[in-house]
Structure 1
Amino acid sequence: MNPIWLIRMAQWARNPPSPQRVKLVFGVIALCLLIFGYEWMFGWPEWLTPQKIKP
């Protein structure tokens, strides 16, 4: 483990992030999981698939 990560963890322990920041991070993670779940259940939309242009 890199010593920089130990310093960063010590700083977070002394000054934890605000509740708003924690909610934001969990919200972004939840949004990513929702998008992944939708794609897993229904597949990739056909209109988002790139097509090769024939010259």
Structure 2
Amino acid sequence: MNPRWLLKAKRWAQNPPSPAKIRFIAAILGICIILFAIERLFGWPVWLTPHDLRRLQ
């Protein structure tokens, strides 16, 4: 583990983030987990798949 991470953890323990910031980060993580679950359940849409235009010529 990098010593910088230990210093950041010490600083975070001394000055914890506000409850609003914790809720914001939890909401972002929740959205990411929901998107991952939807992608796993229904698969990746074909219209979002990039195509190599050089190969099509």
Question: How high is the TM-score relative to the length of structure 2?
Answer: 0.84
CA shift in 2, pair 1:4/1:46, >3 Å: same
**Counterpart-to-counterpart distance in 2, 1:41 and 1:7:** 40
Instruction: Give the secondary structure class of the aligned counterpart of 1:44.
Output: coil
2:14 is matched with 14
Aligned length: 55
1:4 is matched with 4
Question: Deviation above 3 Å: which 4+ runs of structure 1?
Answer: none
2:44 is matched with 44
Question: Identity rate of aligned residues, in percent?
Answer: 42
Question: How high is the TM-score relative to the length of structure 1?
Answer: 0.86
More helix by share: 2
Q: Give the gaps of 5 or more residues in structure 1.
A: none
Q: Give the gaps of 5 or more residues in structure 2.
A: none
